[in-house]
Amino acid sequence: MLKKFSGVLAITLGLSSCAAYEQGKLIDIEDSNAYVWQKYMNEQEFNQLEVGMSYLDVVNTAKGIGTLQKEGIYIWQDENRLTQAYEIHFQNDQLIEKKVIELRGHSTR
């Protein structure tokens, strides 16, 4: 019983340290931007995204984290246009769909 518990504990601690490491990488990517608006995505970065990329790959490309809308769906605001954003769908940490969306109304920036 103790052996089983220690195995589960080791797996849990391993997953926790992996999550903390990945969170640290995300923060490092955003901190590398000289300007706040650079954490958003632009059209050129959007066009570089390919099916199968991981969330971390997309964050590296955009130089910023997306806003989680619901499970597996993130939004990145456009760096230049207040009326446009990019919706990226992930499944099992792989990009499965990307699209440009038009925004209407009040900007939150």
pLDDT band at 108 (very low <50, low <70, confident <90, very high): low
For the residues 84-103, what does the mean pLDDT come to? 96
C-alpha distances out from residue 26 to 37, 41, 87, 100, Å: 16, 15, 19, 23
Which residue range is the domain that position 87 belongs to?
Answer: 2-102
pLDDT digits (tens, 9 = 90+) for 25-60: 666 666 655 555 567 899 999 999 999 999 999 999
Contact residues for 12 (Cβ-Cβ < 8 A; gap 6+): none
Q: Please tell me whether the overall predicted TM-score, pTM, comes out greater than 0.85 for this model.
A: no
Report yes or no on 88 lying in a domain. yes
pLDDT tens profile 54-85: 999 999 999 889 999 999 999 999 988 888 99
Least confident of 15-24, 66-75, 78-87, 99-108: 15-24
Q: Looking at the domain assignment, is residue 13 inside a domain?
A: yes
Residue 15 pLDDT greater than 50, yes or no: no
CA distance 61 to 108: 23
Instruction: With respect to residue 107, please indicate whether it lies within any of the assigned structural domains.
Output: no
CB atoms within 10 A of CB 102: 8
The answer to the question of residue 109 being in a domain is: no
Residue 108 lies in a domain: no
Q: Tell me what the mean pLDDT of segment 102-108 comes to.
A: 71
The answer as to whether 66 is a domain residue is: yes
CATH number of the domain enclosing 52: 3.30.1450.10
Per-residue pLDDT at 104: 80
Q: How many domains does the chain have?
A: 1
The answer to the question of residue 43 being in a domain is yes
Nearest to 103 by CA among 71, 76, 64: 76
